[in-house]
Amino acid sequence: MNASKETGARMKKKSKTVVKDKWRKGLEISVLSVPALIMFLGFVVFPIVMAAYYGFFKWKGFGSPTTNGTFIGIQNYITIFSDAEFRSAVLHNFIIVIGSLVLQAPIAILFALLLNQKMKGRAIIRTLIFVPYVVSEVIVGTGWSLMLQSEGAINAVLKRIGLQGADWISDPKIAMWTLLILITWKYIGFAVILMLAGMQSIPEELYEAARVDGAGFWQLQKSITLPLLGPTLRIWAFLSIIGSLQLFDLVYIIWGQYISSTAGTSTMATYMVREGRVSSNYGYGSAVAVVIFVISLVVALTYQKFILNRDLDGALTEKPSKSKNKSVSAVAEEV
Amino acid sequence: MSSAVSYGRKDKNGYRKSPKNPWGNPVVYFISLLLIAICIGPVVYIILGGFRSNAQITNDPAGMPNPWLNKNYLAVLSSNTFWVELVNSVIVGLLTTIGVVVLSLMVSFVIARYDFKYSKVMYSLFAAGLMFPMTVAITPLYLLLRNLGLANTLAGVILPQIAFGLPQTIIILVPFLKTIPQELEEAAALDGCSRLGFFVRMVIPLSMPGVATTGILQFIGSWNSYMLPLFMLSDPSKYTLPLGVQMFSSQHSVDTASVLAFTSMSMIPALIFFTIFQKRIVGGLTGAVKG
């Protein structure tokens, strides 16, 4: 009743000043949204569009590409795909994508199951496993590369317990494993927190019913937790894949620009920086950026189409209504 | 075992526990301790290593400080470089956070509360920004900022960081602002409050919890960011801490103890920040991702 009165009053007021109000509304919308739009279009969209343009030139980055560079059509792209180093970088990226999923998913689920048990100090554990995620890549890289040196702490510990150390960073047979383990160490906390949140949104009644039917602990996890964790797992995998395709910091810091290709850990992004920025071939670097973008986009869209849209309904691109309530409740829970 | 069963029934905090826990508590604790050791071991190693001398580290790379030395830390604390870089990182982090939050709040308010033709398009545009990581844009971004005369300035790091921070923040804030009841806005309108007045007086205070979460995430992201400063900043006096750590470790590659001390000093502000806000950070991340 109250509400209808209010809207009635409001509509009356509105009809009086409807023209002025409309004009004013438009002004408010512009004032509030234009700054963000300018920033976003100027520093996110525009550079990506320019990358596509620069990619057609052989250009050192001075002046404009048309006057100081040479238009070479798709020559940059031909060079990229015929460069064995780029192809091996792509291969490394895909090894990292698969390796991260295969290594992190089971570990994260097991640890989340563990932390979902009733125990003392769980909040502290949850905080501590998150520390590697918060510490910057540079620090992680610097610290780990010191520990992984052939005369470093890791080999010393191994020696003490009677194991043979290894050349973790520069041996091409081992380096990729080292990188995968470091990635797992750095990002597992994030995965565990996600899985835990997913597990805690599974209704307790399901477990109770199954227990009444005589299901054991592992049976409960296998037939209730795992299937219902599906949406969380799929979102996490999406983020992990995108992150793996863009991987740069850790590799660049630990392996540097040049060792990474001989050690077999170079990625598309380290290749881009080395061939673009470091050697001032801005046309070529932009073309590499476009290739990375297209590869990531294709992978992301394929994943979304075949795996994610089962439960996401395109939350990243359209129809945000379904996912909204979920995220509000998640944020509100914390408040 | 019997206590475990009773826990399973009571379950005050909403955490579940199977009545027949096949692991038994000691095993759970043991695995947890192992997990913690693996996670924070390297961090502790970096901090402890700063208290050792190079001779100690060479003789026993995995040992404890013996004796404890604080000269490495004192050297870092008395060096100009560290403080300059710390201040740069703080400036970049704060301005990025403020910029992202203010701009996102404004545009999220428009998307969430105004009824107009392009509101969905606008939302999709920003949401699509999640798919464009900085890696792809970084080369032309550098050229753009150089042409604007912003290469090698802190503004050249701050502005792109604000732009790239918008999508994530808007995605979190729009649904948050939509939950503010319509009746509240109508009541405010009856009391003679304009939409902008409603925004300033009601929306901003009400959205503080959501803003805090996203702001903290932005600050940590900025604090740790490496690729953008690497491209933009060439003058060491403009370096932020991540670049500083890298420069220090390549300049003092034989002085491992100092490198470890410098590294841990640059990590400690982030760790303190994390400890204070860990609930919001962890919650915000899961919230952002679940959305």
The domain spanning residue A120 has which CATH number?
1.10.3720.10
| Distance separating alpha carbons of residues A43 and B137, to the nearest angstrom | 8
pLDDT of residue B239: 92
Q: Is residue A63 part of a domain?
A: no
Write down the residue that tokens 């060479």 correspond to. B58
Mean pLDDT over residues A171-175, rounded?
85
pLDDT band of B291, cuts 50, 70, 90? very low
Residue A28 has pLDDT above 90, yes or no: no
Question: Taking CB atoms and an 8 Å limit, are A289 and B135 in contact across chains?
Answer: yes
Residue B181 has pLDDT above 90, yes or no: no
Q: Which of A290, A280, A256, A101 is nearest to B135 (CA)?
A: A290
Asked if A31 and A158 sit in the same domain, the reply is: no
Element holding A112 (H helix, E strand): helix A84-115
Contact A250, A183 (CB under 8 A): yes
Question: What is the SS3 assignment for A266-305?
Answer: CCHHHHHHHHHHHCCCHHHHHHHHHHHHHHHHHHHHHHHH
pLDDT of residue A309: 67
In chain B, domain spans: 2-73, 80-290
Residue B69 has pLDDT above 80, yes or no: yes
Cβ atoms within 10 Å of A69's Cβ, excluding its own: 19
Tell me what the pLDDT averaged over chain A comes to.
81
Q: Is residue A270 part of a domain?
A: yes
- What token pair was written down for B71? 């000269």
Mutate to test the interface with A, among B25, B36, B39 (most CBs of A within 10 A): B39
Q: Using a CB-CB distance cutoff of 8 angstroms, which residues of chain B are in contact with residue A131?
A: 39-40, 43, 271, 274
Residue B61 has pLDDT above 80, yes or no: no
B165 Cβ under 8 Å from any chain A Cβ: no
Asked if A226 and A95 sit in the same domain, the reply is: yes
**Statement: B80-290 belongs to CATH 1.10.3720.10:** yes
Side chain identity at residue B135, one-letter code: T
| Distance separating alpha carbons of residues B225 and B230, to the nearest angstrom | 9
- What token pair was written down for A26? 């438009």
* Angle (deg, nearest 10), helices B241-251 and A137-148: 20
Task: Identify the burial level of A200 via C-beta atoms within 10 angstroms of its C-beta, where 0-12 means exposed, 13-18 middle and 19 or more buried.
Answer: middle
- What token pair was written down for A187? 């990002």
Question: Taking CB atoms and an 8 Å limit, are A246 and B281 in contact across chains?
Answer: no
Q: Is residue A313 part of a domain?
A: yes
User: Residue B129: closest CA among chain A residues belongs to which residue?
Assistant: A44
User: Residue A298: closest CA among chain B residues belongs to which residue?
Assistant: B131
Task: Give the predicted TM-score (pTM) of the model.
Answer: 0.80
Question: Taking CB atoms and an 8 Å limit, are A128 and B224 in contact across chains?
Answer: no
Question: Taking CB atoms and an 8 Å limit, are B106 and A36 in contact across chains?
Answer: yes
Task: Identify the burial level of A186 via C-beta atoms within 10 angstroms of its C-beta, where 0-12 means exposed, 13-18 middle and 19 or more buried.
Answer: buried
- What token pair was written down for B120? 């969905």
Residue B98 has pLDDT above 90, yes or no: yes
Asked if A200 and A277 sit in the same domain, the reply is: yes
Nearest-CA distance B7 → chain A (Å): 8
Nearest-CA distance B68 → chain A (Å): 18
pLDDT of residue B289: 52
Question: Taking CB atoms and an 8 Å limit, are A220 and B18 in contact across chains?
Answer: yes
Asked if A259 and A172 sit in the same domain, the reply is: yes
| Distance separating alpha carbons of residues A246 and B133, to the nearest angstrom | 8
Mean pLDDT over residues B74-85, rounded?
89
pLDDT one-digit tens code per residue, B235-287? 889 999 999 998 988 888 888 888 999 999 988 888 888 888 877 776 666 65
Task: Identify the burial level of A21 via C-beta atoms within 10 angstroms of its C-beta, where 0-12 means exposed, 13-18 middle and 19 or more buried.
Answer: middle
Angle at A161 between CA A156 and CA A165, to 5 degrees: 45
Q: Is residue A260 part of a domain?
A: yes
Q: Is residue A69 part of a domain?
A: no
Picking from B125, B167, B189, the nearest residue to A10 by CB comes out as B189
Alpha helix locations (H) across B114-235? 119-128, 134-147, 155-178, 182-190, 195-198, 204-206, 208-224, 227-232
Asked if A276 and A197 sit in the same domain, the reply is: yes
Mean pLDDT over residues A249-269, rounded?
84
Q: Using a CB-CB distance cutoff of 8 angstroms, which residues of chain A are in contact with residue B142?
A: 277
Mean pLDDT over residues A14-43, rounded?
82
Side chain identity at residue A6, one-letter code: E
Residue B224 has pLDDT above 80, yes or no: yes
Question: Taking CB atoms and an 8 Å limit, are B186 and A136 in contact across chains?
Answer: no
- The DSSP annotation for B195-218 comes to HHHHIIIIIHHHTHHHHHHHHHHH
Mean pLDDT over residues A289-300, rounded?
89
Asked if A39 and A96 sit in the same domain, the reply is: no
User: Looking at chain B from residue 61 to 90, which residues have their Cβ under 8 Å from any Cβ of chain A?
Assistant: 61-62
Nearest-CA distance B62 → chain A (Å): 5
Asked if A132 and A265 sit in the same domain, the reply is: yes
Residue A179 has pLDDT above 50, yes or no: yes
| Distance separating alpha carbons of residues B154 and B171, to the nearest angstrom | 27
Task: Identify the burial level of B64 via C-beta atoms within 10 angstroms of its C-beta, where 0-12 means exposed, 13-18 middle and 19 or more buried.
Answer: exposed
Asked if A16 and A97 sit in the same domain, the reply is: no
pLDDT band of A123, cuts 50, 70, 90? confident
| Distance separating alpha carbons of residues A251 and A249, to the nearest angstrom | 6
What is the span of the domain harbouring residue A241? 75-334
Mean pLDDT over residues B162-167, rounded?
92
Q: Is the ipTM of this complex over 0.90?
A: no
Q: Which of B277, B153, B145 is nearest to B216 (CA)?
A: B277
Residue A162 has pLDDT above 50, yes or no: yes
Question: Taking CB atoms and an 8 Å limit, are B139 and A6 in contact across chains?
Answer: no
| Distance separating alpha carbons of residues B18 and A151, to the nearest angstrom | 47
| pLDDT above 90: percentage of residues in chain A | 18
Question: Taking CB atoms and an 8 Å limit, are A25 and B190 in contact across chains?
Answer: no
In chain A, how many domains are there? 2
Residue B90 has pLDDT above 90, yes or no: yes
Residue B93 vs residues B81, B87, B157, B222: alpha-carbon distances, Å: 18, 10, 10, 5
Q: Which of B127, B89, B90 is nearest to B111 (CA)?
A: B127
Return the higher-pLDDT residue of B239 and A167: B239
Question: Taking CB atoms and an 8 Å limit, are B163 and A42 in contact across chains?
Answer: yes
Asked if A123 and A37 sit in the same domain, the reply is: no
When computed from its CA atoms, the radius of gyration of chain B, rounded to whole angstroms, is 24
Cβ atoms within 10 Å of B160's Cβ, excluding its own: 28
Cβ atoms within 10 Å of B117's Cβ, excluding its own: 7
Asked if A28 and A141 sit in the same domain, the reply is: no
Asked if A12 and A149 sit in the same domain, the reply is: no
Question: Taking CB atoms and an 8 Å limit, are A46 and B144 in contact across chains?
Answer: yes
Asked if A81 and A26 sit in the same domain, the reply is: no
Q: What is the Cα B252 distance to its own chain's centre? A: 28
